[in-house]
Structure 1
């Protein structure tokens, strides 16, 4: 069953989710409208669910911030000499409680959490097809888990079993009785995420994929694996990734099919994508800042170009190199390598360059997570088998991996950089692995390109937005701000 979601038209219909940060915790959906008037039948439930999905397409979510912006903030890209200062504060790590990207993401996520939590807490009040209602509730549980997971990784310290019980997390919204919630601990947030995903795994239909644009049982398993990887529960990672890898509905792409996955936003490797439509074009474009032009006939004016250190990780027979990177003339009078991972879906080509559907979960990530889990449980043979399975689909005449121990773990980390860059993983990988980075200036680059961020820099924890601090007098700000 195909269920198309027009991202922005739904935001207009479901304005009750779009509350400002100032009073985000001081309202309930539709403010004073009784719950029984909001949710009366299955159609209302579907609308509420679609409203939750709508938030994920925003620039403040996977439309840019959680896909390209996070990795732009690292050493993977550099600001060009024609830099227009888009995302400039985030790129330069001049992050403060009033930074717009910080406040927008916070508000976006808690707005979506409203929809999810309202469904979870009130779906029992309506009648309908029980299987369908279970599916709706399961998707809402997954959405709530994902939204809180993104927030805790951005606004709190990385999960550390030794300190998680005392490290400040974020408010986990199981209801809205408390209008000035305090921050749960990181441990409590992760525990609630796992609980929500366990509920979803019981509710979502087995062996049924509606389409790639909704949360399925496979996505729930993949998200659970991510969470457990942070927690270093490697047996759990192996279990949940294996459920997806063993599903014949998915397969790794190679050759032209791999390139088409990025160009046309389709393929058997995609577990979940954000479902843009032509009506959404010109509103968001994840790859826009790698081109920085609206008219397809205009010269390319990239804000950011890929760092040599990332490009040099690939060998010439790797399909990812030609799919992710190209050399082109710019409107600045120089030729450079450019990031083309969002090359512009032909359906959107008349609108704006860089308009592709974000693909926040793919099968390749499952192989990489399982390989990491195997490597950290001293099962190098299985880790190598997973790496080989992936690389045989990426590198022509792949000869096989023949290393072990720490060298194997380093290779897995490098493969995550090669495979997943500009999908919003590398920034999080640096944080969870306790690593910093240093940018190395190169030709055709300018401001903030010699930045060095240590692993213990306080800015790995984003500040609670000013608007939230002003609206909730008991919420505690992160150190350093």
Structure 2
């Protein structure tokens, strides 16, 4: 990547990720945010640039010691970390809808515009834009988090508030590395994790050319960061679901431990969240409103878009592909019958997630409506909703899985019933056990969490492939068969990183 391309990339990030960024508590001036990005241009280049910029500073750069001088500066840097999450290269699209679009849960419509086409067709290579953009986005967020963690001790202020900032930074660093290792490395396996290539875990920036930590090292460092966060984050009575809280840290730890098959740990950390009276499962209109209005007692963390965030990629856009609310529906991707047929007709998730429509192509089809346009955003991008990367329902499903694989079927069924009583009218209770119960839990994750970025990861961690089956005249030839051992489950290290980092190794097959 040449200097001009790098500057253009940073300019785009400023315009999309930071221009309208806020977490709902306090606004900061654009000037300060640009200064943060000027600092990133100097200090992030070891990861996202092919050209070393450490020896020269851009004319508009600000020395690091002038960026972090007080509590307000620390909070601003933390806001900078959160700004990355709304990008299309993060939870704005790639980590929510795109990953599950890549599976057998969806098909490309006959008139699709080829958006996300390479990823959908698994034509993934080191130069694929979605791959490089996600890598750069995540390591940008990691930089902000790591800089805060390593430099907060240099400023004075309210110790409780500084601990809270540092705790949120630890969670952010853990989350981004967790996403990266699951995308760019093989799944965690206790017998091989020490020898499998993971991703660089950035504890500092002393080395501009980091090598890849092993998968085992990465997971150990994620757990370490989360342990520190759990010690630092306050246990507040008031709740803010647009920042990383103690509950989110517990939920993320449970995800990590589920990968590691530490079922006792999963039960411990999910129970911390489930037992918090700040959360409760929703039903009926309250469940629908959670998706339509981005509100509700199930949301543990949402990406806090604002009405001014028109330049951000809407998570649901590719299920509508329309310029405004009056345009014809021209969906790029439609739900597969295989997924839709998993639902009971009395399941509120069916009517909330799927609709039958007449498209602009002239045929009737099912449509994914899990991300309907929030009424607050109707003048912006169609399909604009706040991504909700962690919800209470996931906690019940993770705990149920942990109970089932610990041979405690009774407790697993109790968690499933608690969830399904809020989803299915006149739910009669789960009455299966053993392997059938385990399979039911996995299917329940598909019903509840599809197009939230879980199914692709579930297939990978469980060692399963998939096969797409074209259906009637609404889809193109999508008969893709991906085996569990396909090398493309490990995304390639991006070209920009390979060109700029002489020690990093590429994944097999690319």
TM-score class, shorter-chain normalisation, is over 0.9
* Alignment pair present for 1:115 and 2:137: no
Alignment correspondent of 1:14:
36
Alignment correspondent of 2:332:
303
Checking the alignment, whether the CA contact within 8 Å between 1:296 and 1:352 is kept in structure 2 is no
Checking the alignment, whether the CA contact within 8 Å between 1:79 and 1:447 is kept in structure 2 is yes
Checking the alignment, whether the CA contact within 8 Å between 1:28 and 1:176 is kept in structure 2 is no
Following TM superposition, by how much is the alpha carbon of 1:313 offset from its aligned partner in structure 2, in angstroms?
0.2
Separation in structure 1 between the aligned mates of residue 36 and residue 439 of structure 2, nearest angstrom: 46
Relative to structure 1, the CA distance from residue 29 to residue 117 in structure 2 (aligned partners, 3 Å threshold; closer, same or farther) is: farther
Following TM superposition, by how much is the alpha carbon of 1:35 offset from its aligned partner in structure 2, in angstroms?
3.0
Separation in structure 1 between the aligned mates of residue 175 and residue 477 of structure 2, nearest angstrom: 32
Query: SS of 2:370's equivalent?
Result: coil
Separation in structure 2 between the aligned mates of residue 221 and residue 409 of structure 1, nearest angstrom: 23
Separation in structure 1 between the aligned mates of residue 424 and residue 431 of structure 2, nearest angstrom: 15
Deviations 1:322-376 (A, max 9, x none): 0000011111111111000001100001222110000000000000000000000
Separation in structure 1 between the aligned mates of residue 458 and residue 240 of structure 2, nearest angstrom: 28
Following TM superposition, by how much is the alpha carbon of 1:26 offset from its aligned partner in structure 2, in angstroms?
6.5
Alignment correspondent of 1:246:
275
Alignment correspondent of 2:428:
399
Checking the alignment, whether the CA contact within 8 Å between 1:7 and 1:55 is kept in structure 2 is no
Query: SS of 1:152's equivalent?
Result: helix
Of 127, 135, 145, the match for 1:106? 135
Alignment correspondent of 2:5:
none
Mapping 1:325-344, distance limit 5 Å: 325-344=354-373
Alignment correspondent of 2:4:
none
Following TM superposition, by how much is the alpha carbon of 1:11 offset from its aligned partner in structure 2, in angstroms?
6.1
Following TM superposition, by how much is the alpha carbon of 1:445 offset from its aligned partner in structure 2, in angstroms?
3.7
Following TM superposition, by how much is the alpha carbon of 1:23 offset from its aligned partner in structure 2, in angstroms?
4.5
Separation in structure 2 between the aligned mates of residue 283 and residue 6 of structure 1, nearest angstrom: 19
Relative to structure 1, the CA distance from residue 469 to residue 463 in structure 2 (aligned partners, 3 Å threshold; closer, same or farther) is: same
Separation in structure 2 between the aligned mates of residue 96 and residue 471 of structure 1, nearest angstrom: 17
Following TM superposition, by how much is the alpha carbon of 1:40 offset from its aligned partner in structure 2, in angstroms?
0.2
* Alignment pair present for 1:271 and 2:287: no
Checking the alignment, whether the CA contact within 8 Å between 1:80 and 1:302 is kept in structure 2 is yes
Following TM superposition, by how much is the alpha carbon of 1:22 offset from its aligned partner in structure 2, in angstroms?
2.1
* Superposition TM-score, scaled by structure 1 size: 0.97
Following TM superposition, by how much is the alpha carbon of 1:296 offset from its aligned partner in structure 2, in angstroms?
1.0
Checking the alignment, whether the CA contact within 8 Å between 2:363 and 2:474 is kept in structure 1 is no
Query: SS of 1:280's equivalent?
Result: coil
> More displaced, 141-150 or 282-291?
282-291
* Alignment pair present for 1:225 and 2:247: no
Checking the alignment, whether the CA contact within 8 Å between 2:197 and 2:215 is kept in structure 1 is yes
Alignment correspondent of 2:450:
421
* Alignment pair present for 1:294 and 2:323: yes
* Alignment pair present for 1:60 and 2:60: no
Of 203, 206, 216, the match for 1:174? 203
Following TM superposition, by how much is the alpha carbon of 1:282 offset from its aligned partner in structure 2, in angstroms?
4.2
Deviations 1:232-289 (A, max 9, x none): 0000000000000000000001000000000000100000000000110242200000
Checking the alignment, whether the CA contact within 8 Å between 1:274 and 1:357 is kept in structure 2 is yes
Q: CA RMSD in A?
A: 2.0
Separation in structure 2 between the aligned mates of residue 141 and residue 12 of structure 1, nearest angstrom: 23
Of 104, 116, 123, the match for 1:75? 104
Relative to structure 1, the CA distance from residue 274 to residue 4 in structure 2 (aligned partners, 3 Å threshold; closer, same or farther) is: farther
Separation in structure 2 between the aligned mates of residue 197 and residue 398 of structure 1, nearest angstrom: 37
Alignment correspondent of 1:137:
166
Relative to structure 1, the CA distance from residue 119 to residue 157 in structure 2 (aligned partners, 3 Å threshold; closer, same or farther) is: same
Q: Which runs of 5+ in 2 are unaligned?
A: 1-22
Following TM superposition, by how much is the alpha carbon of 1:294 offset from its aligned partner in structure 2, in angstroms?
1.7
Query: SS of 2:365's equivalent?
Result: strand
Checking the alignment, whether the CA contact within 8 Å between 1:41 and 1:126 is kept in structure 2 is yes
Separation in structure 1 between the aligned mates of residue 363 and residue 490 of structure 2, nearest angstrom: 37
Checking the alignment, whether the CA contact within 8 Å between 1:314 and 1:418 is kept in structure 2 is yes
Separation in structure 1 between the aligned mates of residue 356 and residue 373 of structure 2, nearest angstrom: 16
* Alignment pair present for 1:285 and 2:307: no
Relative to structure 1, the CA distance from residue 309 to residue 216 in structure 2 (aligned partners, 3 Å threshold; closer, same or farther) is: same
Alignment correspondent of 1:38:
67
Checking the alignment, whether the CA contact within 8 Å between 2:239 and 2:278 is kept in structure 1 is no
Separation in structure 2 between the aligned mates of residue 52 and residue 105 of structure 1, nearest angstrom: 14
**Which runs of 4 or more aligned residues in structure 1 lie more than 4 Å from their structure 2 counterparts after TM superposition?**
4-13, 23-33
Deviations 1:60-110 (A, max 9, x none): 000000000000000000000011000000000000000000000000000
Checking the alignment, whether the CA contact within 8 Å between 2:28 and 2:76 is kept in structure 1 is no
Relative to structure 1, the CA distance from residue 238 to residue 452 in structure 2 (aligned partners, 3 Å threshold; closer, same or farther) is: same
Alignment correspondent of 2:221:
192
Checking the alignment, whether the CA contact within 8 Å between 2:167 and 2:232 is kept in structure 1 is yes
Following TM superposition, by how much is the alpha carbon of 1:127 offset from its aligned partner in structure 2, in angstroms?
0.6
Query: SS of 1:14's equivalent?
Result: helix
Separation in structure 2 between the aligned mates of residue 29 and residue 271 of structure 1, nearest angstrom: 43
Separation in structure 1 between the aligned mates of residue 33 and residue 364 of structure 2, nearest angstrom: 40
Alignment correspondent of 1:444:
473
Following TM superposition, by how much is the alpha carbon of 1:37 offset from its aligned partner in structure 2, in angstroms?
1.1
Separation in structure 1 between the aligned mates of residue 459 and residue 264 of structure 2, nearest angstrom: 22
Following TM superposition, by how much is the alpha carbon of 1:27 offset from its aligned partner in structure 2, in angstroms?
5.3
Following TM superposition, by how much is the alpha carbon of 1:28 offset from its aligned partner in structure 2, in angstroms?
11
Alignment correspondent of 2:16:
none
